[in-house]
Structure 1
């Protein structure tokens, strides 16, 4: 059985084991779809990625992203974690941006000191969420419908729905009923109160997957939230979002709008490095 270079990294935290873990298999071109899916199921992480040779000259590498049950065209923390691993393996890494090829197309990644950041991909679906679905989400979050200040489709590969709650306290108090939310990806956000919460971040974010779990720190959700919240004037063009608090994590997602691009970034730390036999 072939052996591959392997790393497990922690994304969106300067403190190891306080962000979102990602498994990365390097040089996985000979693996079949079924083998990739089986390994992702075995790791049981929110995502596992496989680095392959690009199929277009504009890209430096290609990545395939798998949850334990399906392949995703794009996801945020796998993008940054995969770029971190690719850069650690590259013989001649580029001076400027890194270009990743994935199911959603080409994604640009830049380095900013210790942080990596990706350019948020275009939303596949945006706009208001139908009222019946908002009412279902309110029930699934265990909040009154009137508590939801706004809801928007922010689908950038994963079909996220963004929900704005009145404050960070409301976000932290949510106890989701996944039997009601089943099949729906919901991300919630609420603003920090400087007096009660400090000024380390502007928003608290939580992500509830369509498979009945809470994700520790979520790049694709934060990218979609940024496009929505900045575009609607709710958020400034530069801010920090906190995520993972309820799960004992300390995720920090840095958002910056530069020109026409929204960059979503964070730090990445390698926790495990070695080989895997598949």
Structure 2
């Protein structure tokens, strides 16, 4: 039988229970195979499941692998924060009191500690610039909107592969009912502005059929790029 392993589920991006984005954290992922990690990620059925491992560099406090139901990601935002919280709460002691350094496939990610608040510094973009027109046409077809409703479109890829389109209003983003079968390998986000004077500036939604996640409740990696 597999040996017992410490496990937590952390609700990220909210101080109110059940209003954030949950992530599964296996606090000791040593000796697990890739297939076993992937199987566990499918079993939790969360957008991400993470595995804490010993670092391979003295610059990091721990190493993290991040799996979705459909595959592994080199970086993701809410898993980074949720894992850092779980690691600290289970006795992890960082080398520096004011920050945690996480090693993942995209490189070293720094997580700042300010009291009980954790915030990560986004890794550099691995791809930016405008989306090609053929890809935009596929996205608008999946979103069920007219091409002229896209005000801007670009890559904001710091590891997961996000492509983002901007629509004129937050309401249009909220009412999207995308046909993800038209973009089965996509990692795509939509953003739209609220009217001036609203409580929020923008509405953002992220769809990740490419890794087996129809919609991510709150996506740190897509929000992070400048």
Please tell me the TM-score bracket, short chain as reference. Answer: over 0.9
Q: Tell me, what secondary structure is at the counterpart of 2:137?
A: helix
RMSD in angstroms over aligned alpha carbons? 1.3
Partners of 2:18 and 2:92 lie apart in 1 by: 28
Partners of 2:23 and 2:128 lie apart in 1 by: 28
What is the aligned partner in structure 2 of residue 107 from structure 1? Answer: 109
1:134 is the counterpart of 2:133: no
Q: 1:91 to 1:43 in 2, by over 3 A?
A: closer
> What are the superposed Cα offsets for residues 114-156 of structure 1, whole Å, 9 maximum, x if unpaired?
3211111111110011111111111111111000000001111
Contact kept? 1:74, 1:156, Cα under 8 Å: yes
Residue of 174, 177, 188 corresponding to 1:186: 188
What is the aligned partner in structure 1 of residue 206 from structure 2? Answer: 207
Question: 1:181 Cα deviation (Å)?
Answer: 2.0
> What are the superposed Cα offsets for residues 84-107 of structure 1, whole Å, 9 maximum, x if unpaired?
111112353441111000011100
Unmatched 5+ residue regions in structure 1? 228-278
Q: Whose strand proportion is higher, 1 or 2?
A: 1
Q: Report matched runs for 1:105-254 at 5 Å.
A: 105-195=107-197, 198-199=198-199, 201-209=200-208, 210=210, 211=212, 213-224=214-225, 227=226
Higher relative contact order (CA 8 A, sep 6+): 1
> What are the superposed Cα offsets for residues 172-195 of structure 1, whole Å, 9 maximum, x if unpaired?
111111111211111111112145
Partners of 1:212 and 1:88 lie apart in 2 by: 28
Unmatched 5+ residue regions in structure 2? none
Question: 1:212 Cα deviation (Å)?
Answer: 5.7
Contact kept? 1:182, 1:212, Cα under 8 Å: no
Q: 1:119 to 1:91 in 2, by over 3 A?
A: closer
Question: 1:216 Cα deviation (Å)?
Answer: 0.5
Question: 1:49 Cα deviation (Å)?
Answer: 0.2
